[in-house]
Amino acid sequence: MINLKEVLTEYSEKKKYKLSELGEGKYSIDIAMKLKDGSYRYQFVWVWITEGRGKGKDCVYFTSRAGIYTPKSNLYKLIKESGYGIYTTVTIVADKDTDGNPCETVIVQASPVLEYLSKEEFLFILWEVAEVADILEEKHFGSDIH
């Protein structure tokens, strides 16, 4: 079984990504994605273990914000385009905006069972959560803010 802190620390040091330990076993990592023009877009992914979530089994929870949901958000296109991922799903959660006001946020998430997760699968899912959130953010919310 993987050790969350060890895998994230090793990966962030190798890739030179910013990793933050948020307390209570939660982490954030800022994934860099190189664009065709050589510039980068960045996407934060939050990672933690939720005990007993998957039919009594511990799950690794990955989540990344795509953008704030508004009545003008095109849910049809969001759902249709959420198929970019293999392990990910798209949902809307209660959140707070940058000013601390309540809002609803479109997020990309995954929650595989920890005991079945290899290091390679973990890193693939981490990347996929970031990538799908970034694609949806760019297409539907217009800027690289998460």
What pLDDT, in 10s, does the model give residues 86-116? 999 999 999 998 899 999 999 999 999 999 9
Distances (CA, A) of 114 to 28, 54, 78, 141: 18, 9, 28, 32
- DSSP code of 141? I
Q: pTM of the entire structure?
A: 0.91
Q: Give the right CATH number for 4-141 from 3.40.50.11310, 3.40.50.720, 3.40.50.2020, 3.30.1460.10.
A: 3.30.1460.10
3-state SS class at 122: helix
* C-alpha–C-alpha distance, residues 36 and 34, integer Å: 7
pLDDT of residue 85: 86
Sketch the domain layout of the chain as residue ranges: 4-141
Mean confidence (pLDDT) of the chain: 92
Q: Which residue has better confidence, 9 or 146?
A: 9
